Structure 1
Amino acid sequence: MLNYGSYLKVPELLELQQLESDPPAHDELLFITIHQAYELWFKQIIFELDSVARCMRDDDPYEAVRLLERVLKIEELLVSQIHILETMTPRDFLSFRSALSPASGFQSVQFREVEFLSGLRSGGEVMKNMQMHASERERLQRRLNEPSLRHLFYEMLQRQGYDVVIPPEDSPADLATRQQIFAGLMDVYQYPEKHYHTYNLCEALVSHDQNILLWRFHHVRVVERIIGTKRGTGGSSGVNYLSSTLSKRMFPLLWEIRGELNDEALYGTQRGHTEFPTPE
């Protein structure tokens, strides 16, 4: 008979928190639970981002935004969740840290999948240093071989009549590409009310990018608070490596375009609608 526990596979789920420390360290259960919860949410994010990709292929920016808003809520939860680890003292973590080696958060295949799917394509170097099964490597390689959300976004814009080009997947856009994209999207950012769904999609993608950046930042600070400058359990430089990821952008040109807006011209346009009449 189907019930709550059997539907959600609760007995099986509760068997998955297997401690490696001996004798068992009190805080290892917390550490495992938080990271397993992350992986479940990563699975949901990937599911939603794949759906967003289909919406872009179908030229449906409204539905793409609706699903991205769900992703954003999940990401906000992930940012706050990382701070539960701060309830461990450095000594608490050290009591089982050696048992984790050589496992590392760097090896999260699903997090890399979120990156690759969204548009961060420095995958060759990342995959070279990851320990994973052949099936996981194939999964990530498939993501690198298919168009990212960033690519699909610009393709959709072209079909909708915006005069943009598609930036490269694996390198920064050159000056000509940047200028054409800025020109093609300038009207969207100057007059968002005329391009309602397109503007909302642009900003939802920026919010997705920002949430991943915020998660990275909070992750770095939590790790630094707990282990200081020690090397990571997977062999990375630890905090120094994590800090080096804080400049990554999935949609860099959508960040930059706001700096191209002519504030003087826009101020003059808006001012004409907001001035009080001159008294006679």
Structure 2
Amino acid sequence: MTVTIGRSTIGGGAPAYLIAEIGLNHNGDVDIAKQLIDVAADAGAQAVKFQKRTPEISTPEHMKAVPRSTPWGEMTYLEYRYRVEFDRDQYIEIGDHATMRGLDWFASPWDGPSVDFLDSLNVVAYKIASASVTDLSLLAAVAATGKPVILSTGMSTIEQIDRAVETLGTERLVILHATSTYPLPAEEANLRMIATLGDRYPGIPIGYSGHEPGLQISLAAVALGAAAVERHITLDRTMWGSDHAASLEPQGLSHLVRDIRIIETALGDGVKKIFPGELAPLSKLRRVGA
């Protein structure tokens, strides 16, 4: 089974769909968001992804009043969440910029009103964040849009993933293996889950969402058959904000895309053959013929 998002096909042996997650790494600044879109397009990614919240609804009650030190001063966690949200006009501006750069763009909605907000902007897909796997009412609202859905599976049991898949349906679903540790140590990557998820949900494209500091684990995921790869991106890992340290800088993203495409080419078709480049060594070195 394949899933079509924008102009790309996911699964069925198609090249891995590469998603550059901007998330909140724009720090509430449209210009930074546009720069990150340019980074993704220049590197050769197919999509950029944001996050959309209605902070009053999506912020856990016990977190709302927690003090937060920010570049804009001391504020509550709820005030900070409002500070980094984009409004409709800002989303139109960054969405148009992504489209002009040839990228799909979509977001992870964290609550019902955010699903409606994104639907009104005609996003090409929805992303379910790992934190939302158990929010079945949110998943039902996303499923009702009829759009393709990408489901991350960090911080979740296999039974919780089963319920999420049942709620979302399998017709337009992509599942991403993920471990929600920031940054991700290699011993928690558990890449064999790509095959496990593929066996459990046959026909559904399985990909990888990574939070590791380097490239090796994401590259290994592609070698193991990941149909999509999502990585956070940033202009500078030392910028203020919770996700920057686990993100790729522009050169890192460019190298990731380059190396993924090389790996895909190198995987070949699994059929043993004598390649043209072997003919000269064959003639020179083989003493006994067949």
Q: Give the TM-score, by structure 2 length.
A: 0.25
Kindly indicate which of the two structures has a greater share of residues assigned to helix.
1
User: Comparing both chains, which one has the higher relative contact order based on Cα–Cα distances under 8 Å and sequence gaps of 6 or more?
Assistant: 1
Structure number, greater radius of gyration: 1
Kindly indicate which of the two structures has a greater share of residues assigned to strand.
2
Q: Give the TM-score, by structure 1 length.
A: 0.25
